[in-house]
Amino acid sequence: MLGVADDEQLPVRQARAGDSGAWDALLRRYQLPLYAYAFELVRDEQASLDLVQEVFIAAVRKLASLRDDARFGSWLFGIAHQKCIQLWRQRDRAAVVHAELADQTDDFVADPQELLIRAEQEAEFFQLLQQLPLPQRSVLLLHYLEDFPLEEIARITDTQLGTVKSRMHYAKRALRKLLEEQTP
């Protein structure tokens, strides 16, 4: 979905100069991917929307600290990651509300039963994903949902590459174990 090459074409320099049109372009480019990432971590629509807004406010304030304009996307996801962690620290894990999956329509699938099965499988997967510790869940989402390479994930999460690889390994292993426990 996102790639470093995409970031090279972004009007980061113009945004740094205060061009509101450039900020609009950056917002349009990143608001949905940031929302999807935040939502998968916090599982709350309103909190995810608020987080995206907070991320962009922080980005406006901190853009001068960005050293490489081509890394704007991973820098922005790094801010989002930190905001999600702050939210998690503020909330008691037991009080986290699991959002219902939105009704999905798929024009390419004619069978409503198949749609229902797919929605149930997705819901089960995301429930399993919620059982993983936040650091493991985060690396999985950044890699598989947002298509960031492991090196970028290390920058986003401010951890060593080896730590990212370890979290990915343990996350996959934990998911596999949870799936096996659910299968009769």
pLDDT tens figures, 38-81 = 998 888 899 999 999 999 999 999 998 888 888 999 999 999 98
Query: Which pLDDT belongs to residue 176?
Result: 86
Query: Which pLDDT belongs to residue 80?
Result: 92
Query: Which pLDDT belongs to residue 33?
Result: 94
Q: Is residue 12 part of a domain?
A: yes
Tally of domains in the chain: 1
Per-residue pLDDT of the chain (184 residues; tens, 9 = 90+): 444 344 457 899 999 988 889 999 999 999 999 999 999 888 889 999 999 999 999 999 999 888 888 899 999 999 998 888 888 766 644 343 333 333 444 444 456 667 666 767 777 777 888 888 989 988 888 888 788 899 999 988 889 999 999 999 998 898 888 888 877 6
Three-state SS for 146? coil
- Report the helix count and the strand count for the chain, using DSSP H and E: 9, 0
Q: Is residue 125 part of a domain?
A: no
Q: Is residue 169 part of a domain?
A: yes
CATH number, position 171: 1.20.140.160
Q: Is residue 118 part of a domain?
A: no
pTM of the full structure:
0.59
Q: Which residues contact 159 (CB under 8 A, 6 or more apart)?
A: 135, 167
Q: Is residue 75 part of a domain?
A: yes
Q: Is residue 110 part of a domain?
A: no
Query: Which pLDDT belongs to residue 8?
Result: 52
User: 69, 153 in Cβ contact below 8 A?
Assistant: no
Query: Which pLDDT belongs to residue 112?
Result: 65
Query: Which pLDDT belongs to residue 101?
Result: 35
Query: Which pLDDT belongs to residue 91?
Result: 63
How many whole angstroms separate alpha carbon 114 and alpha carbon 127? Answer: 20
- 134-138 LR contacts (CB < 8 Å, sep 24+): 134/41, 134/84, 134/85, 134/88, 135/159, 135/167, 136/167, 136/168, 136/170, 136/171, 136/174, 137/40, 137/41, 137/171, 138/41, 138/81, 138/84, 138/167
Query: Which pLDDT belongs to residue 160?
Result: 95
Domain interval for residue 40? 4-99+131-182
Q: Is residue 123 part of a domain?
A: no
Q: Is residue 121 part of a domain?
A: no
